[in-house]
Structure 1
Amino acid sequence: MSDLYTSEEDEEIVRPRRQRRRRRKRSRFGSFVAVVASLAVIGGVLGGIYYGGSALLNSVDGLFGEPEDFPGPGTGEVSVTIEDGATIRAMGATLVEAGVVASQDAFVAAADRNPQATGIQPGNYVLRSEMRASDAVAALVDGAGGQRVSLPEGYRVRQTVERLAEVSGFSVEELQAAVDAATLPDYAEGDAEGFLFPASYGLGGDVTPDSLVASMIAGFEQTATEVGLVEGSAARELTPRQVVTVASIVQREVSREEDMPRVAEVIYNRLSGACTAKGVPEGRLQMDSTVHYAVDDYSSVYTTPEQRQVDSPYNTYRVSGLPPGPIASPGAAALSAALRPTTDDNCYFVAVNLETGETAFAVTEADHQANVARLDEYCTTSELC
């Protein structure tokens, strides 16, 4: 270890001290200015983002293209519900989930371009799958709170209720309860079968199961008045319910309106016994449509031998006379035909072209069998048989 001292003549060696820098005190005012300046910079950045957001998004859109959209016009039917208070973006999400539009952004963009989109009302809508976003917006705008449901002629009550449940958003139970509680014409004898008029009905606004069913019954009563149901039934010495029953069979048996009065004539001729001498058991209608109703099976236009033996008052192969009531909801043409049948003495008819609905009529059984042969020939090349 080296010494820090020399001989006695030497003086103590002292190392020089380092000079400490005196720290300058910062001015409080200067710190305040610095903070303010920093906040100003941050505020400017945020303000630029805020006010330039649209431009930035537009530039991004320009880089990546338009939002995903379907070419349209779409297919099929899709039932969607726009909830009360839903925003445009929430509507877009609902439509994307239902497969109506391709993307939420495409729907929002289309709504921004349509000034009426702010007036879209909550309700149940029937749209298409894979619609163009602008078309979906237009459909919602035109719906004024909801779309419509079309009920075809020839549906029985069960089918009508199921169809409404598919489209309206109401449950089968709610709709059936409304049917059961509905006020029907007195001559309906408390049974709604045949009296839910087939037409197009609105589903928007404040529609309820009760109001929807009431509209169908009102539609029937209006049509009944137009065709003169009550007066015409009395002239034929039948009740209005019996004429509706005839009309319902006519509706189920043929599709072409020009054939309906001729089918009605066949029904009346068989009921009266006018066809007994021509091979038809007295009073037997022998209509497949009534058997379809009895077994609740509409998978074929034909009936099997087993089905024609079913024990039911609706089986007109076994039971004479009209069935107890209507088997479906007839339209205006079928109701009119039941009141105004032809007078050609026909006792038979058979469809000879299942694609076009062409039907052949006959007075005698021999002529009828010739028409059946036409059907058989048709079925050798058709998959509809």
Structure 2
Amino acid sequence: MSEAPRRRRGLLFALFVGSALVAGALFAWGHARYQAFVDGPLSGIEAGDSLFVERGDSFQRVLAKLREAGVRDGHELEWRLLARRLGAAGRLQVGEYALEPGISASELLLRMRDGKVIRHRFTIVEGWNIRELRAALARAEPLGQASPRLDDAALMEALGRPGVHPEGRFLPETYLYTRGDTDLDLLRRAGEALERALGAAWEDRAPDLPLQSPEEALILASIIEKETGIAAERGEIAGVFVRRLQAGMRLQTDPTVIYGIGSAYDGNIRRRDLLADTPYNTYTRDGLPPTPIAMAGVEALRAATRPEPGDTLYFVAVGDGSGRHVFSRTYAEHSAAVREYVRRYRERHGAASQ
């Protein structure tokens, strides 16, 4: 073989080796870059950022939302390759996802594949009335608002409970929801939870209660809820009310009077208020008021259906700011407790004004 062909073959071999080395280097560089994209922290993310995948969003649209959120890492091809590798391609679930500083592309795609969405919290507070509940719902974010234009009657109709008074129909507890849920979704769940809790309490009720139905138990529970915030007193207060009902005595409980006053209540209850007859004034009317007066929790429901035994018929606040009550068997004992309450109240408020 002549010198020229040998040189040509040597040159071709050198070119081949060089090309292979360059290709290998490029592959190694590309693989390292891809792995850095796959496992490294995404840039441009700040605490509190999130991504909302809506129904009908394509993968390209989701990626565009990531870009809008500030994420610049990875080409679309890299994202698609990773999504296919993780089994996330075509399986991104609707919902809101946390974009936490330090999260990787793999972690984010797995969350979206598995539907690990952000869950927000909303708490219905024991003792709230329906006005307070609706006001709190209107302030809740990012809860969707479907009911602000509905009055109470229309609200209950939208919840599938036409003709039912809304007071006391929603169980106080903390509910988790996701972006896209509405206030009606949350109220529907809270209403179902109340029915379950009330049904369980009624099923386990004490014998010989002066209550004719779960509805009456709910009304009594709502009064107990408003009378005390001290868990240890609920059963004893329930016992007082049950014994008064059994004896044919009026309940004479201030929270029902306040509820009857409605939005006109200014924080003070006066003698004229106790004498002004409304359907909710238990000083002027026998028995229970016509509806609950607040949202009653599980413990209040249990107290109403399983009151503590005893012989007390009266109670009044201690007057020391603790929220505790003094319980009495006779009206004379109760009158003495009321006088002591007034004395302590004046001492506390007199000291506060000095």
Decide whether aligned partners of structure 1 residues 356 and 369 sit closer, same or farther in structure 2, where only a CA change above 3 A counts: same
TM-score by length of 2: 0.62
Moved more, 317-326 or 348-357: 348-357
- Give the AA of the match of 1:181: A
Aligned residue number for residue 246 of structure 1: 220
Sort the Cα spacing of 1:192 and 1:88 in 2 relative to 1 into closer, same or farther, 3 A: farther
CA RMSD of aligned residues (A): 3.8
Indicate the SS of the match to 1:232.
coil
In the other structure, the counterpart of 1:256 is 230
> Is the CA contact (8 Å cut-off) linking 1:270 and 1:284 kept in structure 2?
yes
In the TM superposition, what are the counterparts of 1:205-284 in structure 2 within 5 Å? 205-227=179-201, 229-230=202-203, 232=205, 236=209, 237-273=211-247, 283-284=249-250
Q: Cα deviations across residues 97-146 of structure 1 (Å, max 9, x unaligned)?
A: xxxxxxxxxxxxx9443448957x99xxxxxxxxxxxxxxxxxxxx9334
Q: Measure, in 2, the Cα distance between the counterparts of 1:210 and 1:159.
A: 16
Structure 1 pair 180–233 and aligned structure 2 pair: CA distance change class (3 A): farther
For the pair 1:339 / 2:305, whether they are aligned, the reply is yes
Q: Would the alpha carbon gap of residues 214 and 235 (structure 1) be closer, same or farther in structure 2, given more than 3 Å must change?
A: farther
Deviations along 1:277-319, whole A, 9 cap, x unmatched? xxxxx5311110001110125653x521222233311011111
Rounded Cα–Cα distance in structure 1 between residues aligned with 2:216 and 2:194: 15
3-state DSSP of counterpart to 1:113: coil
Look up the match of 2:133. 160
Counterpart Cα distance in 2 of 1:156 and 1:180 = 19
The structural deviation recorded for 1:193 is 1.8
2:281 to 293, 315, 326: 315
Judging changes above 3 Å, is the alpha-carbon distance between structure 1 residues 166 and 205 closer, same or farther for their aligned structure 2 residues?
closer
Contact 2:144 2:183 in 1 (8 A): no
1 CA distance for matches of 2:293 and 2:150?
22
Aligned mates of 2:101, 2:186 — CA distance in 1: 34
Q: Please say if residues 256 and 357 of structure 1, whose CA atoms lie closer than 8 Å, have aligned partners that are also in contact.
A: yes
Could you tell me how far apart the structure 2 residues matched to 1:378 and 1:147 are?
44
SS in 2 for 1:314: coil
Give 1:285-364 correspondences, 5 Å limit: 285-297=251-263, 300=267, 303-353=269-319, 355-364=321-330
| Unmatched segments (≥5 aa) in structure 2 | 1-45, 54-61, 71-98
1:18-97 equivalent positions in 2, closer than 5 A: none
* Counterpart contact for 2:223–2:255, Cα < 8 Å: yes
Partner of 2:148: 172
Q: Which amino acid aligns with 2:156?
A: V
Report the count of equivalent residues. Answer: 261
Answer yes or no: is the 8 Å Cα contact 1:261–1:338 preserved in 2: yes
CA contact (8 A) 2:120 2:176 kept: yes
% of aligned pairs identical? Answer: 27
SS of 1:378's equivalent?
A: helix
Whole-angstrom CA distance in 1 between matches of 2:255 and 2:51: 40
Q: Give the Cα–Cα distance (whole angstroms) in 2 for the partners of residues 174 and 194 of structure 1.
A: 18
1:5-20 counterparts in 2 under 5 A?
none
CA gap of 1:230–1:182, structure 2 versus 1, over 3 A, is: farther
> What's the CA shift for 1:197?
0.7
Name which structure has the greater RCO, CA cutoff 8 Å, separation 6+.
2
The match for 2:28 is: none
Larger Rg: 1
Q: TM-score, normalised by structure 1?
A: 0.58
